[in-house]
Amino acid sequence: MIKMIRFLKYSLVFVLPLLIACAIVEYIVRQVPNAYRFKYEWMQKNAENVDVLVLGSSHTFYGIRPQYLDGNAFSLANVSQDQNLNLFLLEYWSHRYKNLKTVICPISVFSWFGRGIEFGSESYRCRYYKIYMDCNLYPYMILHNVEITDYATAKIKLEKYFSDSPTIDYDQYGWGNTYKLQNKNMDSWNDETEAELAAKRHTVNTWDYYKKNHSIMKKMAEFCKTRNIQLVLITTPCWRSYYERLKPEQLSKMYELTTSFQKEYNLPYLDYLKDSRFSADDFFDSNHLSDVGAIKFTKILNHDIRSLKNGKQ
């Protein structure tokens, strides 16, 4: 018994400093500015006054610049954000909306078929929603509640914290501002390797998760309908090197399901996937707009949404 007590004491002497060090590192990592906390805090302050909300994944996070939309617009989009998270964020401030009139939700080639972010290679992002956005969709596990459980991302944040001029990867409207045309990788653009990898990454092998995503979208549509909010479905522009490599059956199925859902809830659907108005310089990579392209696209989108409201489309 005495030996056991002695062992526990020695163990505590060894473990306690380690735990304290981990707690300090965790605290530092959480001080690094991030889009998730910024968006949550912005909505906490401004939910009553927001007119337009942009939902979605990286296609809208980088592709729609809310400052060029009519009214007080803000983006709740984030990288790899699935439809379940879109619904969660839309509903979270439901009791505070007073002026919300338009919700923009993207439909990408993968939107109807994704199983959920928690099941993919970017499951580490689940913790950002739990820690910074009060999200209750994921189980209470250390993996989902401690930043430093993912060494790679924690390391990047530590480097940013101790940097002389840390970069902020979003603007005051929630738009992702890092896809600047001047930083475009022309090598991968010209040999189209990025496009091939992106199309492959967005290809699914099953339609099994359609019903789940349809149920989520149904809740979103009904949420908006009961509050007299216009839900606008869009497909963002992509470069031909990307959409030409998409699996034809999947793209066709996406349009089939989107059209069916559109008719079911009498929703507008604006499709810009192959829009010829966009040139190579409007893209950062094959399926994301650059900062220049995002301005161009948002102005076009704003015009089309305005036309919808005026009954011209």
CATH number of the domain encompassing residue 51:
3.40.50.1110
Domain assignment of residue 207, yes or no? yes
In a domain, 152, yes or no: no
Q: Assess if residue 299 is contained within a domain.
A: yes
Q: What are the strands of the beta sheet with 269-271, ordered from one edge?
A: 73-75, 52-54, 102-106, 230-235, 269-271
Does residue 137 sit within a domain?
no
- What is the domain count for the chain? 1
Rounded-to-integer distance, Cα 264 and Cα 307, Å? 22
162 falls within a domain? no
CA distance 101 to 74: 12
**What is the chain's pLDDT, residue by residue, as a tens digit (313 residues)?**
666 666 566 666 667 777 787 788 778 888 888 999 999 999 999 999 999 999 999 999 999 999 999 999 999 999 999 999 999 999 999 999 999 999 999 999 999 999 999 998 898 899 999 999 999 998 766 566 888 888 788 888 888 888 877 788 999 999 999 999 999 999 999 999 999 999 999 999 999 999 999 999 999 999 999 999 999 999 999 999 999 999 999 999 999 999 999 999 999 999 999 999 999 999 999 999 999 999 999 999 999 999 988 875 5
107 occurs within a structural domain: yes
Nearest to 266 by CA among 232, 300, 303: 232
Angle between helices 210-226 and 248-265 in degrees, nearest 10 = 30
Whether residue 154 contacts residue 53, with contact meaning beta carbons closer than 8 Å, is answered with no
Q: Is 68 contained in some domain?
A: yes
For residue 102, the cross-strand partners are 52, 230
Contacts 24+ apart (CB under 8 A), 278-281: 278/237, 278/239, 280/189, 280/239, 281/181
Backbone angles phi, psi at 116, to 5 degrees: 135, 145
This prediction's pTM? 0.91
The answer to whether residue 145 sits within a structural domain is no
Residue numbers of the domain that contains 285: 33-122+168-309
Report the C-alpha gap between 288 and 272 in whole angstroms.
12
